[in-house]
Each structure stands twice: as structure tokens, then as C-alpha cells.
Chain A
Amino acid sequence: MSLNRTFAIVLRQFYLVRGSPARVLPLFAWVGIDMVLWGFITRYLNAVSSAGFDFVPVLLGAVLLWDFFTRVMHGVTIAFMEDVWSRNFLNLFATPLAISDYVAGLVVSSIGTSSVGLIVMLFLASAIFGLSFVGYGVAIIPFLLVLFLFGVALGIVGAAIVLRFGPATEWFIWPIPALVSPFAGVFYPLATLPTWMQYFSRIVPPSYVFENVRAIISGHPPSVNALIWSVVLAVIYVLLACWVFTGVYRHSVRTGLVARYSAETVS
């Protein structure tokens, strides 16, 4: 791997974002709106529900963590899509750039863009609605780590899908977080789900995060074993995603899709 080449991919993303309000605004606007919307919903629920239960950490905290995951995934995918939209594959892949340099560049770009969203969400949720992550203790570190890693994994898989099946398939990848969310138990305990869905939930790393968030809020200690397992699971997904992307790239080089990307073929 070459740090210079990875930096080049990140720099390209930085140049794009810096020079374009249309790219800057989505970094924080939608997650900011989510915080405000869910902040007021939790206030309302606090007002109408029985005394003693605070919806802010349960709902607003969950939305914040889920939005962070979504921003990470979209951060990777959007960085990749910039090369699709500008038809840049031939220029990029006819250089000494290795796939590992490229994917690392997408991930680092996503760290930058998702951090902006996270900071804005933390500011709004704490300043306006009094959300505090202090109660989560050090568990917040594995929470964010698992969501980050799983977001990276799905982002890379999304990029692989678009590379394999063509630019039109981008519309399959944006709703992926919405498809995963019922199994992640963002807003409800996994026990709420039917048994067959609970089986799927066990292989979705964020489900362990949200179960532990609810456990901590209920006054129970987090399950260290579950958190370790979720980190391991998320790492496995990242490795699998890199393997899938590399396989798709090699297939594209074999069939000529990289050279003629706009041809769009599923052969």
C-alpha cells in the first residue's frame, strides 16, 4: 500500500467537497434535521408517557448512532460514486494505484465526512435536547467502532455492486441501511421481533450495539462478550467486503468493464 496514493484519493474528495456547497450541505443538513425531528418527538413522548422514563437516550441516542452508521456507509459509497459520475475509472485504474490504496482512500474520506455529521449531531442533541453519552461510559467506543466498521463494510459492498452491475444500480445501495434497520433493533428490543428475524439479527453487528444501549439505559452493565463478538463480526464483514470488491474489480478487468464502464453489462 502507498500512503501517497491513498492521500491522493482523499485529496480528490477534499477538493470536491471544498469547492461545492451542494456536497457540503448534505454532510450535516439531513442528520441535523433528524436530530431536531427526533428531539421534539422524544420531548413529546416524555411529556405524555408515565413519569420516570426518559426517551431522549433511548430514541434520540439510537437515531444519532444509526445516522452515524448511515453517514459512514454513504461516505464510502459517495466517494466511490464521484468516480462513477465523472467517468474516472480508466484514468484511475490505469495508474500504479492499487485496489488497497483506492479502498483505503474511500474509507479515510468517509471518516472525514461522517465526522462532520457526528459533530453536528452531538452538538444539536446535547445543546438542545440534553442528550449525554456520559452514561454509556467507555462502551461508547465499541459502539462507534462497530457502527463505523459495519458502515465501511456495507459501503464497500455498495461500491462493488455498482462496479459490477453499472451506474444505474446506485439506487439499490442508498436504501441498504433502511433494509438493515429492522434487524438491527434500532428502536426496539430484538425480543420484539419474530424468531426468524432474531436469527438474522444475530449476524447484524449493530444489533448488539442497540441491545447494549438499552441495557445501559435500564441500569444494567453492557455485555462485554457481546460487544467483543460484534467487533469481531464487523471486522469479518470488512474483510469480506474487501474480498468481494477485489473479486468484482478483477472480474471487471477480465471482462473489460473497467475500460468501458459506461457500457453497463451484467454478463
Chain B
Amino acid sequence: MFNCHFGGTVTMPNVLSVENLSKKYGDTIAVDGISFDVERNEIVGLLGPNGAGKTTTINMVLSVLEPTSGSIHIEGIDVARQRSQALDCTNFAAVYAPLPGNLTVYQNLHVFGLIYGVRHLPDRIESVLEQFELRRFRNFKSGVLSSGEQTRLCLAKAMLNQPQLLLLDEPTASLDPATARDIRTKIREFAMRGLCGVLWTSHNMYEVEHVCDRVLFLSHGKILLEGDPKTLPREHGKSTLEELFIAVAREPLALERV
């Protein structure tokens, strides 16, 4: 089922390896030399206040934004050199990237399934329609769906090619709590089932604590903290992840010294 071929190594590489990644816009540094990995069956939370560099990082991994320096390898494949091969085994869902509203649910999945080269596409479309409870909307124009239904459609598209690397930028932002919990469970199952890794951004610390195996706190383009979301707050003298988040947002320099 996997489309990817590992990039010339005998041992299986990390799903995602980012090294010294930077992005500058003139004098403004959006991302400042960050390095991190996402391993198989691991969900990594990329956290930080607005403007910290989370979406910029995701855009660089998706190859829609060129890094100023540094490297990105997906499944050992250099994104800068072999973009199409690297993105073959990647997919994403973002709250700011709904699928075209002028195509039906089925048509959107069909078009993107072809772009990702999904095998047995009709069966796979039926499977994700079922998985994300979209079957009854299959012939509805995507634009008329509620925001929650559109989010589920984006997630269905993101799962269509069963990617080894799944990038999720606030995937549950517009979902009600019950649906959000179902979605989190599905993504968790997806990450644990195959050889997949997930990079997840969210401002919902409850969600992050329950879903992520590891979190990276970003502030002003740098990774300030890294660790297990269940133990990290105590390690830094905070009682909850949300308190730690607020501290990162307000006093990043203080935490940098910890």
C-alpha cells in the first residue's frame, strides 16, 4: 500500500527529519535553526503562540515554502531534491485549507486520490467516506457542508493515501467536543496501526496532552522545550500544559534559561 521508497538507507529512517531549518523574510526571522524528528507510530505536537513559526514550519515540510537554510527529509527522501517522491508519502489537513467548495465530496476525493496515485481508488474513497461519516454527503458540493463536515472531509483527504507522514494544523479547531474526540481517536489509531508518524499543531492543550507522545514548544521561531506532554509541565514548575503554554508565550526567555 505504501507509495514511498526509503531514500537509499538500509535501516528505516525517521518519518520526518528536520535539521537546522530556518526561514527569514528580509530581517524577520520566522523560523530560527530548528531541528527535530518524528518517529514511526509517534504523534508529535508542535505548540506555540500565534506567530511562533508552527505553520511556517509545516509549510516548509510541505514544500510550499522554501527554507532559507536547513534540510527536510521525509522517509529519508530530501524534500528539496526529490519533492514529488517525498510528498507521495505525505498528506495534510489544515483548518485554513478547505477543499474546493465547487466540487462534490466524492469528486474532491477522486481528484486528490489521482494526484496522490492512490491504488484501488474507488474502494479507498468508500473506506474514508465510511471512516469519517461522510457517505451521505458524497454527492453534496463541499462548499455547502458545515465547517465540521468540511474538516472531516479534509481529514478524509489527508488519510486517502495512507501517508507515512501526516501533518495536521489545528485539525479539530471547528469540531464539536464529541466529534473532536472521535477524530482524535481515529488519528491515534491511524498513527499506531502502520508505520506512520504525525506532526500536530493545536491550541487545545487538553487535546495535546491526550493525543501527543511528545511536544515541541516553539517561540520566536526556536524550539524552547521538548518532552512528554504529561510530565513536561511539572519539570518546569507548572501544574498544567496550558500554564506552561502561557509561560512560553509570555516569558520565553525565562524558560529558555531553565
Contacts and interface: CB of A to CB of B under 8 A. Distances in A.
Interface of A: 2, 4-5, 7-8, 11-12, 15-16, 19-20, 82-83, 86-98, 250, 253-256, 258-259
Q: Which 6 A-B pairs have the closest CB atoms?
A: A8-B114, A86-B100, A94-B62, A96-B84, A96-B87, A259-B59
A262 to B, nearest CB: 10
B100 A96 contact: no
B64 A94 contact: yes
Given A96-B117, A98-B84, A256 B65 contact: yes
Contacts of A255: 25
Contact of A96 (B56, B92, B102, B116): B116
Contact of A5 (B62, B107, B115): B115
B108 to A, nearest CB: 9
Contacts of B56: 256
A193 to B, nearest CB: 44
Interface string B4-36: 000000000000000000000100000000000
Interface of B: 25, 55-56, 59, 62-66, 83-85, 87-88, 92, 94, 96-104, 107, 110-112, 114-117, 157
A140 B112 CA distance: 39
Given A94-B62, A98-B84, A253-B66, A5 B114 contact: yes
11 contacts: A7-B114, A8-B115, A16-B103, A87-B97, A91-B97, A91-B99, A97-B84, A98-B83, A253-B64, A253-B66, A256-B65
A97 B115 CA distance: 6
A95 B112 CA distance: 9
A96 B97 CA distance: 17
A2 B104 CA distance: 24
Given A88-B100, A254-B66, A259-B64, A96 B88 contact: yes
A132 to B, nearest CB: 40
A97 B97 CA distance: 17
A8 to B, nearest CB: 4
B169 to A, nearest CB: 10
Given A96-B85, A256-B59, A91 B112 contact: yes
Contacts of A91: 97, 99-100, 112, 157
Given A16-B102, A94-B87, A11 B64 contact: no
A95 B117 CA distance: 10
A143 B116 CA distance: 38
Nearest to B59: A259
B124 to A, nearest CB: 14
A57 to B, nearest CB: 41
A149 B23 CA distance: 39
A256 B114 contact: no
Contacts of A89: 64
A19 B105 CA distance: 13
A91 B167 CA distance: 13
A11 B111 CA distance: 7
A97 B87 CA distance: 9
Interface centre among A5, A87, A91 (most CB of B within 10 A): A91
A16 B107 CA distance: 10
Nearest to A86: B100
B110 A11 contact: yes
B192 to A, nearest CB: 25
Contact of A95 (B87, B104, B110): B87
A254 B96 CA distance: 20
A93 B64 contact: yes
Contacts of B88: 96
Given A15-B107, A86-B102, A259-B59, A96 B115 contact: yes
A95 B83 CA distance: 9
Contacts of A88: 99-100
B92 A94 contact: yes
B66 A95 contact: no
Contacts of A96: 83-85, 87-88, 115-117
